[in-house]
Structure 1
Amino acid sequence: MTAARVRRAVRRVVRGVRWYLREISGDAAYERHCLRHRRERPDHPAPTRRAYERLRRDHREHTASSRCC
């Protein structure tokens, strides 16, 4: 393997790990929400991360359909 191929492989792995961590941490979901919010409501400020997480939690609690308890 050449050095260039190794660098490309390492970059690909790092990008994959970064994507995975952003998805499980919620960073990607928040960014998607902000983009959609700016597109649909450009005259309103996007919610803070804390406010977004609160909205998400409240939505999950009120729309839970497959709980055991």
Structure 2
Amino acid sequence: MTTLAGAWRGLRWWVGSVLGDTAYARYVEHLRRTHPDAAVPTEREYWRQRYAEQDANPGARCC
């Protein structure tokens, strides 16, 4: 049973990472580590900024 539970947790982690569920937490950690005096945006502000950046510079996206 623990092997199945571990596999499930691993799958949830992978899917969450691919979909960006941990992106904000990783950004906040990076910001606090490299720029401790910078203001930390709310999660809503972070996602708005990220999507605005993607729209302004689409790069090699398919859509």
What TM-score, normalized to structure 2? 0.75
Superposition misfits of 4+ residues, deviation over 2 angstroms: 24-27, 65-69
CA distance in 2, matches of 1:44, 1:23: 25
Pick aligned residue for 2:49 from 30, 35, 55: 55
SS in 2 for 1:27: coil
When Rg is computed on C-alpha atoms for both structures, the one with the higher figure is 1
CA distance in 1, matches of 2:29, 2:21: 12
Pairing 1:46–2:40 present: yes
Q: Which has the higher contact order (CA 8 A, sep 6+)?
A: 2
Pairing 1:29–2:23 present: yes
Pairing 1:13–2:1 present: no
Structure 2 residues without counterparts, runs of 5 or longer: none
What TM-score, normalized to structure 1? 0.70
RMSD (CA atoms): 2.3
Alignment length, in residue pairs?
63
CA distance in 2, matches of 1:18, 1:38: 26
